[in-house]
Amino acid sequence: MAERGGVRAVLLAGGEGRRMGPLGEGRLKPLVPYGGACRLIDFSLANARDSGLGEVLLLSQYEERRLMDDLHRVWNRDPGFRVHFGPYDDAYRGAGAGLPRELPARTWPAERGTADALIRKAGHVFGGGREQVLVLHADHVYRFDYRPLIAEHRASGAALTVAYQRIERRWVHLFGMVRFDRAGRLTEFTEKPAEPTSDLVFAAFCVFDAAVLHRYLEKLDGTGWQHDISRDVIPAMLAGGEDIRGHEVAGHWEDIGTVERYHRAHLMLAAGGPRAGLPVERMPRTVRPGVDRGWVADSSGVVASLVPADLVNDGRVEHSVLFPGVTVGAGARVRRSVLLPGATVGPGQDIDSAVVLENGQVQRVEDTAAVTEGTRT
């Protein structure tokens, strides 16, 4: 299926979630539940669908069968938009509304980074006369219409247009720092700089000229590169004198890389209430979509928690985000916490600054007040 306007959207979803602690154990990082409504990967997919793109190519390798089965069930049901599974896609199409019993044997080496994923599956990325490649990630929380970014990229004739956002300079060292000249051309790209000289950071999605991207990937392949878009491809293009532009991202955007950032983002969601940086009504609805969600007040009358309509609560819930299927036992207290789908808090339990997993396991999160690096509004 050809992408509209020659754009191939690719979604990089190879993360194992090792830095997520127990939250990442036994689950794929892209499928970590978020915001009482969805999973991390659903943001980029919803953005692509709502931007009028008919298809997104999934690039993954860690337990990819589990991920593809899930995305096929959730996202490939309705006409007009689907997730493409590259070399496995024919098997899913042939299974109709179900799931394929077997997948073709893997015939390519394991990818070692974001750029490696692009070159190893180049036929699916660049085939079909693609003119642009829109690169997305599976662990970023934001709602964004990609159409103005793509249109601006085409109008400029640039080799690459990177999305960027302005943040407090004290947090720039955690991201890719960018600088532009007065004409709007990229002049510096430094991954996690020790001493930032700019307050602009790469928002980790971008649009490449397909031919230029393919040329640089082939040039880098086989060298001593790190197989990474940010550490290899973009710096090589900058050093090669390519015309690279920027597109500013307004509004809420955050990178969920650790359990601390995950927890902090939910605290900020609860603190913002209906006026949160990313309102719950703008989130994709993929986790038990038939269950309504709403805001409730704490004991002081302040709106401070997001809870599902099916919540069974015989205790107290304050400044927290709860997913559907949660039960809070008699006399229990939940504060500054995230309760995943189906989690149970036993009678009399006191949960504070934690993520409660589906099986009731409590993952404490320390020093959350100091963890602000992953959230930007």
User: What pLDDT digit, counting tens, does each position of 166-178 carry?
Assistant: 999 998 998 999 9
pLDDT of amino acid 63:
83
Q: Is the separation of the CB atoms in 105 and 8 below 8 Å?
A: no
pLDDT of residue 186: 97
Structure tokens at 258: 């650790």
pLDDT > 60? residue 307: yes
What six digits make up the tokens of 356?
């409660």
pLDDT the model gives residue 371? 35
What 3-state DSSP class applies to 367? coil
pLDDT interval class at 50 (50, 70, 90): very high
Q: What pLDDT score does 271 carry?
A: 84
Nearest to 3 by CA among 132, 93, 118: 132
Q: Which one has a higher pLDDT value, 187 or 299?
A: 187
Mean pLDDT of 133-157: 96
Computed over every residue of the chain, the mean pLDDT equals 90
**CB within 8 A of 240, min separation 6: which ones?**
216
* Residue 291 in this model has a pLDDT that exceeds 70: yes
**Taking a C-beta distance cutoff of 8 angstroms, is the pair 348, 334 a contact?**
no
Q: Which two tokens stand for residue 232?
A: 């290899």
Q: Is 32 strand, coil or helix?
A: coil
Per-residue model confidence (pLDDT) at position 2: 40
> In 10 A of CB 279, how many CB atoms?
15
Number of C-beta neighbours around residue 155 at 10 A = 10
pLDDT higher for 25 or 238?
238
Partners of 178 in the β-ladder = 189
- Alpha-carbon distance of 199 to 177, in angstroms, equals 7
Q: Can you give the pLDDT at residue 278?
A: 81
How far apart (Å, rounded) are the C-alpha atoms in residues 154 and 268? Answer: 36
Q: How confident is the model at residue 303 (pLDDT cuts 50, 70, 90)?
A: low
Stated length of the chain:
377
Grade residue 280 by pLDDT with cuts at 50, 70 and 90: confident
**Distance set, CA 249 to CA 167, 252, 284, 355 (Å):** 11, 9, 19, 30
Instruction: Report the 10 Å Cβ neighbour count for 26.
Output: 10
**Mean pLDDT value of segment 159-169:** 95
Arithmetic mean of pLDDT, 278-289: 90
Band (pLDDT 50/70/90 cuts) for residue 375 is very low
> Residue 373 — pLDDT band, cuts 50, 70, 90?
very low
- pTM score above 0.95: no
The whole-number average pLDDT for the span 33-41 is 96
Q: How confident is the model at residue 136 (pLDDT cuts 50, 70, 90)?
A: very high
Q: What percent of the chain has pLDDT over 70?
A: 93
Closest CA to 162 of 171, 153, 154: 153
Q: How far apart are CA 147 and CA 153, in angstroms?
A: 10
Higher pLDDT, 294 or 110: 294
Give the pLDDT band of residue 299 (cuts 50, 70, 90). Answer: low
Confidence of residue 335 (pLDDT cuts 50, 70, 90): very high
State the number of CA atoms in the 13 A half-sphere of 188 facing the CB. Answer: 14
The pLDDT-based confidence of 324 (bands split at 50, 70, 90) is: very high
Contact by Cβ (8 Å): 17, 32? yes
pLDDT at 205: 96
pLDDT, tens only, 51-95: 999 999 999 877 889 999 999 999 999 889 999 999 999 999 998
115 or 284, greater pLDDT: 284
